[in-house]
Amino acid sequence: MDNNMLLLEDYFFWSTKTLSKTGNANGHKNQAAMKKNTIQVFLFYFLILAFVSCEKEELTSPNVETPPNEEFIPIYSFFVAGHTYGNPLNIQYGLHPPFVNHISFLNNYPTLNLGILTGDIVPYSTQEYWDAAELDIDNFSVPIHIAAGNHDRGPLFENNYDYYYSFKKENDLFIILSPTNWNIEGAQKQFLIETIDNNYLTVNNIFIFSHELIWWTPENEFGNVEINYRPQYPGSTNYWSEINPILDSLTNNVVIFAGDMGATKNVSPYMYYKNDNITLIGSGMGGGEQDNIIIIEVDQEGELNYRLLGINAEVPYELAKLEEYELP
């Protein structure tokens, strides 16, 4: 029991005790007044109790902020979290602690149906690191999907997960990818083409997930976005020459999420870019100041509401309006 409740009980006890003494001193003519006052004390007690309860609820409620469009009613939502092992200079067993601290928040988020981790779940792909990460993942009450990062790939990942696959949720298509040296090629590229061909006529949104920001190069308009480790860039990517034309030809809304960001204070924590029907989003954690997750809410018509939430606090908070991001 907290201090507020103890104070309320003390107030109630001494108020009713005083009323009792007053009634005995003045005789039966004050009995009615005493009863009336007792009822008032009861009402006051329970009003304060309700206020304290509401105050506590505000601290734990997943409704961090009411979406600006009150007419937007999501039928489902999902979260995206990048680079979830956290800071490469301060690694631990298990997922990044600020992220773990808010698993209960996500479990209680209205309409949340699934989560996608966009790579680098573990700092090293060993049994010990995977066992610790999976213990944290098991605490989620919704299905969790993984788009493998460069730190994740290897035999241990292959024994438990698939590098690329797809599934549908409501009227939307989800595609998990694992680029080969930043490229979508070979059997994986064929899988992507066939999956889109078989579904684009019957879905609203096409969500694609990878670890690497496959649209990024040091020379293009995204070059000033600081990814986690520039030397990891192989020198070229086939996104613009081979993948973007496929997506650009669609009438569907296409959103690509990547998670190779935010690992330290010296890199960009997130990015957003939209052109025609294609939206490019990067996010991540580890820097300790702007660590983030993104919650995507989807309504009946397939419209989207993005919520970029900071997690470096006791309660997740609105870090920024994602759509207002400007390329550096």
With beta carbons less than 8 A apart as the criterion, state whether 119 and 144 touch.
Answer: no
Q: Does residue 193 contact residue 246 with C-beta atoms inside 8 Å?
A: yes
The identity of residue 196, as a single letter, is I
- C-alpha span between 307 and 35 (Å, rounded): 52
Give strand ranges (E) for the chain: 74-81, 112-117, 144-146, 165-169, 172-176, 205-210, 253-261, 270-275, 278-284, 292-299, 304-310, 317-320
Reported as a single tens digit per residue, the pLDDT across 233-255 is 999 999 999 999 999 999 999 99
Quote the pLDDT of residue 71: 84
Q: Tell me the C-alpha distance between 217 and 241, whole Å.
A: 13
Q: Kindly give the parts of the chain with pLDDT less than 70.
A: 1-70
Q: Please calculate the CA angle 172-309-134 and round it to the nearest 5 degrees.
A: 70
Start-to-end Cα distance in the chain: 51
State the architecture of 75-324 in CATH terms.
4-Layer Sandwich (3.60)
Q: Which of 299, 253, 262, 254 is nearest to 283 (CA)?
A: 262
What is the rounded distance in angstroms from the CA atom of residue 316 to the CA atom of residue 293?
9
Question: Hey, what amino acid is at 297?
Answer: E
pLDDT in tens, 98-117: 999 999 999 999 999 999 99
Predicted local distance difference test score (pLDDT) of residue 18: 39
Among 238, 243, 237, CA closest to 256:
243
